[in-house]
Structure 1
């Protein structure tokens, strides 16, 4: 019994330190979350600051607090901060090799925030992956596809590939191609398209609508319409005008041919 009490007394400081370290970790983790959310909320509430910066700064603050908590925990076990720095310095090469992908994502995240090729809420294509930007953290970019599927892209991959930003400009050009039969009047078809485009308030007058015959296909005369609109109206205008032109062609007796083959018989 005395031996047990003696052993318990020996391990008591270690148990106390472990319990103290656990409390510090829990409190530090909760504090990091609270401060991070506060920073995000304060930054996003400032109209002059882009919301993208709010998320990134919140992520930086969270990881900085967790780093301080780690140093505090080491101090509880009697490891001085100077010794911790020395250990990290000696192991920097191994850590760098093991976490080179993570460090690359971190540095790429900084570059994304500085140059900002995309922002929160914009629709982008990152290396063939398209979606709306939901979050940009220190290490990853979160996208949501049109069917609301979450996609996490490492910042290193995002920065190192081609980025297509469909929301970078206020206006976009809608390109529509309509094929009509060779026996129909191309001028009449172009006038139908022009009338519908002029009547739609979403179509901008500057640049003016551009409608031309652009191709003589195997089965149709192709007419291309290039119309400018606000970026937010792009898809609705594209779909609505396609339907309206089809219905107007039907009313005017302008046919939209399907691919077919004409057989010609020649007499000897």
Structure 2
């Protein structure tokens, strides 16, 4: 049998068109994939470079956003590549959307921590090295990532605070400002000279060079207690000197009171004998 009678010219033409069409689709898909990868890589590098140059964008946040944009672009590229091969992308996008929704619901708590981590890194309510109080925990900030904040307490305990809890509560940053006010309450006996005691306090604290001269040391009588006259004292200092000044002042004022004959009252009982 003659082979030419088995394959007609129309069949050969149709097969040729299919081969050419398939080859064209493969070439276009490859071109889309290559160009898409190049664009995604260039955008990721650009975002990272912008994050490094910006003082308001943390490096961790820049890396997160650059990766997020990269994978978003690659997802669009893959959908375009599949479309070149005749794959129905509408149903694929719907399936991906449903899967994303299901994953989001399953990881609701984790995603809330992620969102809070982005907000913390972007707005910077605290930074590495700051002494803070967040979610009822106090300590120095050792690490901030997209999900948790790591604190080190004064006795060197490691505390991990979920960013969702940190961002959703009151944040007190003791290191945010360069200066802090130190408050004291010194008690003296009712029989002591108030003006003399206030001068002793002022002179004792004024001898500490770490205490700022402007504003000046403030002293005033704040209360008449059950057994004492209470004198409030306020001084300003650099934030890093707060606890050193506090501890030294408590010791130095006590010694100065003793040297000046000023007594610090303490709870005691006095027996009074009545003569009828």
**Alpha-carbon deviations, 1:214-268, whole Å to 9, x = none?**
1111121111110000001000000011111011111111111111233444555
1:240 aligns with 2:245: no
Whole-Å Cα distance in 1 between the matches of residues 60 and 274 of structure 2?
74
Whole-Å Cα distance in 2 between the matches of residues 66 and 146 of structure 1?
42
What is the correspondence of 1:9-20 to structure 2 with a 5 Å cutoff? none
Residue 188 of structure 1 deviates from its aligned partner by 1.0
Match of 2:266 among 234, 258, 266: 258
User: Which residue of structure 2 aligns with residue 154 of structure 1?
Assistant: 162
Match of 1:57 among 58, 62, 65: 62
1:145 aligns with 2:153: yes
1:211 aligns with 2:219: yes
Gap change, CA 1:62 and 1:253, over 3 Å in 2? farther
Gaps of 5+ in 2: 1-47, 75-86
Gaps of 5+ in 1: 1-38, 70-79
**Alpha-carbon deviations, 1:162-215, whole Å to 9, x = none?**
111111111100011111111111111111110012211111122211011111
Matched positions, count: 220
Contact 2:135 2:161 in 1 (8 A): no
Task: Give the alignment's TM-score, normalised by structure 1.
Answer: 0.71
Task: Give the alignment's TM-score, normalised by structure 2.
Answer: 0.69
* Structure showing greater Rg: 2
Match of 1:136 among 141, 144, 156: 144
3-state SS of 1:118 partner: coil
Contact 1:141 1:154 in 2 (8 A): yes
What is the correspondence of 1:98-137 to structure 2 with a 5 Å cutoff? 98-137=106-145
Gap change, CA 1:152 and 1:60, over 3 Å in 2? farther
User: Which residue of structure 2 aligns with residue 96 of structure 1?
Assistant: 104
Gap change, CA 1:84 and 1:248, over 3 Å in 2? farther
**Alpha-carbon deviations, 1:28-49, whole Å to 9, x = none?**
xxxxxxxxxxx8xx95xx7x73
Whole-Å Cα distance in 2 between the matches of residues 257 and 228 of structure 1?
27
User: Which residue of structure 1 aligns with residue 193 of structure 2?
Assistant: 185
Match of 2:184 among 159, 176, 199: 176
Residue 115 of structure 1 deviates from its aligned partner by 2.1
Aligned-residue CA RMSD (Å): 3.2
Contact 1:218 1:259 in 2 (8 A): no
**Alpha-carbon deviations, 1:59-109, whole Å to 9, x = none?**
66678889999xxxxxxxxxx9x7986543222222121100111111111
